[in-house]
A and B are shown apart, each in its own frame.
Chain A
Amino acid sequence: MTDVGNSPRFSTRGLALSVALALLVGLAIGFGVTRLASAGTPADDSAAAGFARDMSTHHAQAVAMGMIAAKKGNAHEVRTLGEDIALTQQAQIGIMSQWLRDWGLNINSDAKPMAWMPDGDKALTNGNLMPGMATSQEMTALENATGKDADRLFLEMMIKHHLGGVHMVDAVLTQTDDPDVLWLAKGMKARQQLEISEMQQLQTTLAKR
C-alpha cells in the first residue's frame, strides 16, 4: 500500500495536466450541452422570427382600431369587441416580443415586411403595408368617424385586418415547428376566424337596428 502512495506517477506536472484537461473537457461539455439546449432557437432570418416581428406590427394597428372602437363605438357590441381585441392582441404582442428576447434576436430587422413568407413581397399593399392593414388615411377616417358610421367603418376594417392576419398565420404554420409559435399562431387563427363570423353577423344586426 505504501509503495503505491509514493509512486512517482503522481507527479505535480501530471496532476496539473489532468486538471487542465478535465477543465477543458468540462467547458466543452458545457458548451455542447448549452448548444444542444438552444439548438431549436429560431435564427434571425427564420419564419418564426419574421412572424414575431411582423405580426407585432400587424397587431399594433388592430390594437389602435380596437381602442377607437372601445372608446367611441356606437353599439355596445362594437365597444365590447374593440376592447377584447385591443387587450388580447396587445398581450400577444408582449408574448411575441419576449420570444425575440429569449432567442437573443433584435425586435428590428433590415428585412422588408413579409420577407419570411414565400412571395411575401407580393402580399404587400400600398408600399410596405402587410395584408389587411389600413392606410394612415383610413385610420384617420376611423378616428374621425362618429355614431353608426364609426361602427360600420370599424367592422369593415377589422374584418379585412383579421383576414390578412389569418393569411400570415397560415404562412408561419407551414414554416416552423417551434411549439410556442405553433401554439400562439393556432390560437390566433381560431380566435380571429371566430371573430370574423361574429363581426359579419354584427354587420347584419346593426344594419337593421
Chain B
Amino acid sequence: MSISTPGGEQHRPGLVKVGGKPAAGAKPGAKTTTGGGKTPPKGGKGGGPRKPITPIKVNQGRNWGPIAMFAAVGLIAVGIIGWGAWAAFKPGGAGYDWETRAGAIDGITHVTTELKSNHTYNPEKYEQDPPVGGTHSYVWQQCMGNIYDAPIPKEHAVHSLEHGAVWITYRKDLPADQVAALAAKVEGKEMMLLSPVADLDKPISLQAWSYQLKVDNASDARIDDFIGALRVNATQEPGATCQGGNTATGDKPLTEEQAAALQQQQG
C-alpha cells in the first residue's frame, strides 16, 4: 500500500485496470457511459443486447454481503455500548443506596460539615445533643447490642458511631414499656446500643455518624427506617467492630490511666 501511495492519483487508471481485467478494453466505453447515458452502448464494443441487461443486474443484485456484515458489526458495537451504558446507569448500581433512603426519612437531620475523627482522653463539647460525630475517646463504647441502664460518656459513644453503630438514646422519663420496645430493637444486634440521656429535648433521639432523628414515641415507624438505612452503612471505618471497648456507664470518659487499666484487665 505504502509503495503505491506515492503514485497516488496518477496511478489511479492503473488501479482501475487491475480491478477490471476483462474490462481493460472496454474502459473508455465505461467512461462515456457516465457522461452520455444510453448513447454509448450503441458505440460500445459489446453487442447491443448486453447493455440494457447490465444496469438491471446491478440494481437487483445489491451487495447484501457487505450490508449484512456492516449491520452485524454495527449491532454488536451498539450492543456493547448499550451493555456498558446500562451497567453504568442501571438503578441501584454497586452496593445499596442507603443515603437516599436516609434522606427520605421525615425529620432527619444530616450534618454535612466535616466532623472531626481525632482521638482524645479529654471531655469534649459537641454541637449536637446528643452528639453525632467529632473528636472522641480512644476507646469506643461496647456496641454489641448493649443495653445501658444509665447514661454513658458521649466521648465513647461517638467512637461507636464512627464504627457504624446506631445509638438510641431516651429521656429518663420515658415510660418503661417504651424503653422495653427500644431494647427489643437493640438486644443481640451488634452495631446497636441503647442508653438514657440526662437532658434531652425530645423523649427519644437516634444517632448515627452525622445523622440524627428525634421522635416522641417508641412506636414511631421512622425508628426502624433510621436503623435500616444507617446501621453499619454510616460507618467511617468499614469493617470496624463493636466488641471490646468500654462497658462502664457515667458522664466522664475514661482517663488515660483508666483506659490502660481496662486493657490490662482484659489482657
Contact = CB atoms under 8 A, between A and B. Distances in A.
Interface in B231-265: 231-233, 239, 241-244, 247
Interface stretch (A1-9, A160-168, A184-192): A1-9
A128 B77 CA distance: 53
B131 interface: no
A109 to B, nearest CB: 7
Contact of B96 (A34, A100, A129): A100
Contacts of B190: 57, 60-61
A106 B228 contact: yes
Interface string A111-147: 0010000000000001111100100100110010000
B48 interface: no
Contacts of A4: 58-59, 62
A2 B36 CA distance: 13
A72 B232 CA distance: 28
Interface in B70-111: 74-75, 77-87, 90, 92-96, 98, 101
B34 A2 contact: yes
Interface string A41-78: 00000000000000001001101100110011000000
Nearest to A4: B58
Nearest to B224: A110
Given A3-B55, A30-B83, A63 B96 contact: no
A93 B92 CA distance: 23
Contacts, number: 127
A136 B86 contact: no
B46 interface: no
A64 B78 contact: no
A113 B266 CA distance: 31
Contacts of A72: 266-267
How many residues of B sit at the interface, in one of the four size bands? 35 or more
Contact of A29 (B55, B83, B94, B229): B83
Interface residues of A, number: 48
B146 A136 contact: yes
B147 A136 contact: yes
B189 A106 contact: no
Given A104-B96, A107-B96, A34 B267 contact: no
Given A106-B233, A107-B96, A107-B232, A27 B85 contact: yes
A34 B243 contact: no
B243 A64 contact: yes
A104 B93 contact: yes
B145 A136 contact: yes
A48 to B, nearest CB: 15
Contacts of A128: 184, 187-189
Contacts of A61: 144, 188, 190
A26 B81 contact: yes
A22 B75 contact: yes
B227 interface: yes
B96 A139 contact: no
Interface string B188-214: 111000000000000000000000000
Interface centre among B78, B84, B94, B224 (most CB of A within 10 A): B78
B266 A127 contact: no
B94 A108 contact: no
B87 to A, nearest CB: 6
- Shortest Cβ-Cβ A-B pairs, 8 listed: A30-B82, A26-B78, A64-B243, A30-B83, A26-B82, A29-B79, A60-B190, A27-B82
Contact of A106 (B77, B87, B96): B96
Given A26-B77, A26-B81, A60-B243, 9 more contacts: A22-B74, A28-B82, A30-B87, A57-B190, A64-B144, A104-B94, A108-B229, A126-B188, A129-B188
Contact of A1 (B58, B78, B145, B229): B58
A126 B145 CA distance: 14
